[in-house]
A and B are shown apart, each in its own frame.
Chain A
């Protein structure tokens, strides 16, 4: 795990290029505290910040091939590197390290741009082909590791985090209104957009090639895909045989992801997914398991009872981090400096505090249960859509919408707490029933209430857009033939998972403390396997993740296997007010003067929301998301726009874009 940065295009003096790389990579020190590495040649600069996990002795990057013609820096892990290496050696390739990185350059030598198809891992790769003078940028299939790029001064620049780009390209340090509007709707900008003007994210499963003459080509080498309903091909003899195959695959995914030359820990949420991972480690490997979890003072969010049951059952050495509302509020500014995008929930904050505890305990790697809900249909959103579709077939039915009452039981302020209103609320958007975004309309409608707080100026700077049609541009046309659940899963995997959970609640909050998260459920073989399953094996009736429960049965206590999913959440606006008083930075950023001078939001409306939250009267999702969205946008502005502007005034050389020795 690491951070990478660099560029391709016309070279300056080598010393100057080296200094530029140095400035970029230093901003990623938290991703790789174990040393920096560089490769500078005509037309290219590569930099690497290392977090040593595999091959501690000789794994320093950049890594090159036998001819020293192909060079790579990469962030992440290639889990199947031992198998790849063995087969490459049989073909005559010779290796000079024991690292997983080295297989990348050899695979490229042999297979060209198709090298990605061989990798099982989580990665962001920059690869320089010195003979053809071309740079490749690639990202893993699910979007676990980040990679950003931009064009400036005749060059293409890339980095694991945007702050590395801003360190040498101060002109990028302004927030993009379109990215902001998308975040307040979908919870993240839509790929390839980011919160910053002119900075793009390389979408998951994509390869970007920049040729010697500057031509660029982008290819998607992998995507979530599902069988057409009309195909009627049965991929499995029986559910029992699928359960058996799934368990074997889970065991193999966990076995591969335990590969490391340092001790590996695991997160335990108390739910099925993370408990399953820990049980698989206990049951099928000889790796000692050290587990970590978060406990909340507020019973609505707390799962420590279930966590304790799992710890007893699995006999793990366990650490619980007790997280208070104040901890969340106080950590929030540091969190936003890491996420580099506004957030509409505070839930990433406790995970950032937890990764610090993991680091303090001497661990560098944790396995988590992330991804199971997307792969096996675990979210309430999927069940909600199923009920709404069922209801739509008999719109006059009084019984069918009552099924909605069986969802969201864990919420204090449930959107189904009042049946008549639940029906009115979820009955909206029924006209979209045949569209791929049908399941997401209620969520996005609630989130979009935050847009009422935008300033007239910002609103005017965004071209008119329809969030539903806009999102559908991302959805492949053949999805029309997939099952409704498959369509819902596709949109969920691209929007919430790749846009919010994996970066803001995954990579960034772990890397903030130099911790590498690993996600066995997102092994692409598991995704491909699960996508072939009939939808009713994923959600049976209203029981989510049915087949995963069967595959894990016998490894876990029955009450964990049968437990209904409780999504991980944390207190939102209440984390910023204590006895009616806001935390200092919150009062400052919500002052009418600051809101006005930043220009994103309407000061009067924001002030009214602030007062409502301060009085403890903000109980619904819409108000809380708007509040957290405004606060995090203002923090982003403070950290990346305002402070940078002040620094540029005080020291123009630092931000002139011209390198100087550090």
Chain B
């Protein structure tokens, strides 16, 4: 099944809202907001997201990819996942 940006975005947003922001209110999360600056993720929080992405999208995330640029906003995460899928 092909992944498109909209599907990935919906899943990533759903996960972050439910598990890191503990809400179902989509207005709480702007796609370009920095998750680090808002203290939504720290270095332990990122491990949770990595686990989710690997399970949900069947990607493998290397240690060297675990940098803030890939995870700091919904948009960045979506781009990162699409790049990983394209490389598969």
Contact indicator A418/B37 (Cβ below 8 Å): no
Contact indicator A425/B22 (Cβ below 8 Å): no
Complex Cα gap A622–B42 (Å): 9
Query: Which of B24, B44, B68 meets A413, CB within 8 Å?
Result: B44
Contact indicator B23/A605 (Cβ below 8 Å): yes
Query: Which of B18, B37, B42, B48 meets A608, CB within 8 Å?
Result: B18
Contact indicator A617/B48 (Cβ below 8 Å): yes
Contact indicator A421/B39 (Cβ below 8 Å): no
Query: Which of B18, B47, B48, B72 meets A418, CB within 8 Å?
Result: B47
In the assembled complex, B46 has its CB within 8 A of some CB on chain A = yes
> What total of chain A residues lie within 8 Å of the partner, measured CB to CB?
29
Contact indicator B23/A604 (Cβ below 8 Å): yes
Task: List the B side residues contacting A420 at CB < 8 Å.
Answer: 66-68
Contact indicator B43/A608 (Cβ below 8 Å): no
Contact indicator A619/B36 (Cβ below 8 Å): no
In the assembled complex, B33 has its CB within 8 A of some CB on chain A = no
Nearest chain A residue, comparing its CB with the CB of B41: A421
Binds B, one of A200-208, A237-245, A444-452, A507-515: A444-452
Does more than half of chain B's interface fall in helix, strand or loop, or is it mixed? loop
Contact indicator B24/A445 (Cβ below 8 Å): no
Complex Cα gap A315–B72 (Å): 54
In whole Å, how far is B37's beta carbon from the nearest beta carbon of chain A?
A: 7
Which residues 405-433 in A have Cβ within 8 Å of B in the complex? 413-418, 420-422, 424-425, 428
Contact indicator A612/B67 (Cβ below 8 Å): no
In the assembled complex, A453 has its CB within 8 A of some CB on chain B = yes
In whole Å, how far is B68's beta carbon from the nearest beta carbon of chain A?
A: 4
Q: Given contacts A424-B68, A428-B36, are A608 and B19 in contact (CB under 8 A)?
A: yes
Query: Which of B24, B48, B68, B72 meets A619, CB within 8 Å?
Result: B48
Contact indicator A422/B43 (Cβ below 8 Å): yes
Task: List the A side residues contacting B30 at CB < 8 Å.
Answer: none
In whole Å, how far is B36's beta carbon from the nearest beta carbon of chain A?
A: 5
Task: List the B side residues contacting A446 at CB < 8 Å.
Answer: 39, 42
Chain B 1-44 interface mask (CB, 8 Å, partner A; 1/0): 00000000000000000110111100000000000110101111
Complex Cα gap A608–B67 (Å): 28
Task: List the A side residues contacting B24 at CB < 8 Å.
Answer: 604
Contact indicator A448/B39 (Cβ below 8 Å): yes
Contact indicator B22/A608 (Cβ below 8 Å): yes
Task: List the B side residues contacting A620 at CB < 8 Å.
Answer: 42, 44-45, 48
Contact indicator A619/B47 (Cβ below 8 Å): yes
In whole Å, how far is B42's beta carbon from the nearest beta carbon of chain A?
A: 5
Nearest chain A residue, comparing its CB with the CB of B21: A452
In the assembled complex, A224 has its CB within 8 A of some CB on chain B = no
Task: List the A side residues contacting B22 at CB < 8 Å.
Answer: 452-453, 604-606, 608-609, 612
Interface centre among A421, A422, A428, A445 (most CB of B within 10 A): A421
Nearest chain B residue, comparing its CB with the CB of A620: B44
Contact indicator A415/B42 (Cβ below 8 Å): yes
Complex Cα gap A621–B39 (Å): 12
Contact indicator B42/A417 (Cβ below 8 Å): no
Nearest chain B residue, comparing its CB with the CB of A416: B43
Contact indicator A421/B43 (Cβ below 8 Å): yes
Contact indicator A415/B44 (Cβ below 8 Å): yes
Chain A 371-392 interface mask (CB, 8 Å, partner B; 1/0): 0000000000000000000000
Task: List the B side residues contacting A445 at CB < 8 Å.
Answer: 39
Nearest chain B residue, comparing its CB with the CB of A448: B39
Complex Cα gap A421–B64 (Å): 12
In whole Å, how far is B47's beta carbon from the nearest beta carbon of chain A?
A: 7
Nearest chain A residue, comparing its CB with the CB of B44: A620
In whole Å, how far is A407's beta carbon from the nearest beta carbon of chain B?
A: 12
Task: List the A side residues contacting B39 at CB < 8 Å.
Answer: 445-446, 448-449, 622
Complex Cα gap A622–B68 (Å): 19
Contact indicator A425/B36 (Cβ below 8 Å): yes
Task: List the B side residues contacting A452 at CB < 8 Å.
Answer: 21-22
Chain A 587-613 interface mask (CB, 8 Å, partner B; 1/0): 000000000000000001110110010
Nearest chain B residue, comparing its CB with the CB of A445: B39
Complex Cα gap A424–B69 (Å): 10
Complex Cα gap A622–B46 (Å): 13
Q: Given contacts A420-B68, A620-B48, are A425 and B23 in contact (CB under 8 A)?
A: no
Task: List the B side residues contacting A448 at CB < 8 Å.
Answer: 39
Complex Cα gap A612–B41 (Å): 16
Task: List the A side residues contacting B37 at CB < 8 Å.
Answer: 428
Which residues 58-83 in B have Cβ within 8 Å of A in the complex? 63, 66-68, 72
Nearest chain A residue, comparing its CB with the CB of B37: A428
Task: List the A side residues contacting B19 at CB < 8 Å.
Answer: 608, 612, 617
Complex Cα gap A622–B41 (Å): 10
Q: Given contacts A428-B36, A617-B19, are A622 and B66 in contact (CB under 8 A)?
A: no
Complex Cα gap A617–B44 (Å): 11
In whole Å, how far is A494's beta carbon from the nearest beta carbon of chain B?
A: 24
Contact indicator B43/A619 (Cβ below 8 Å): no
In whole Å, how far is A156's beta carbon from the nearest beta carbon of chain B?
A: 42
Q: Which 8 A-B pairs have the closest CB atoms?
A: A620-B44, A421-B43, A605-B22, A420-B67, A608-B22, A424-B68, A413-B44, A418-B43
Q: Which B residues contact A (CB, under 8 angstroms)?
A: 18-19, 21-24, 36-37, 39, 41-48, 63, 66-68, 72
Q: Which A residues contact B (CB, under 8 angstroms)?
A: 413-418, 420-422, 424-425, 428, 445-446, 448-449, 452-453, 604-606, 608-609, 612, 617, 619-622
List 15 additional contacts besides A418-B43, A604-B23; criterion CB under 8 Å. A413-B47, A414-B43, A418-B47, A421-B42, A425-B36, A425-B43, A446-B42, A448-B39, A452-B22, A604-B24, A608-B19, A608-B22, A622-B39, A622-B42, A622-B45
15 contacts between A and B (CB under 8 A): A414-B43, A415-B44, A421-B41, A421-B43, A424-B72, A425-B36, A425-B43, A428-B36, A452-B21, A604-B23, A608-B18, A612-B19, A619-B47, A620-B44, A622-B45
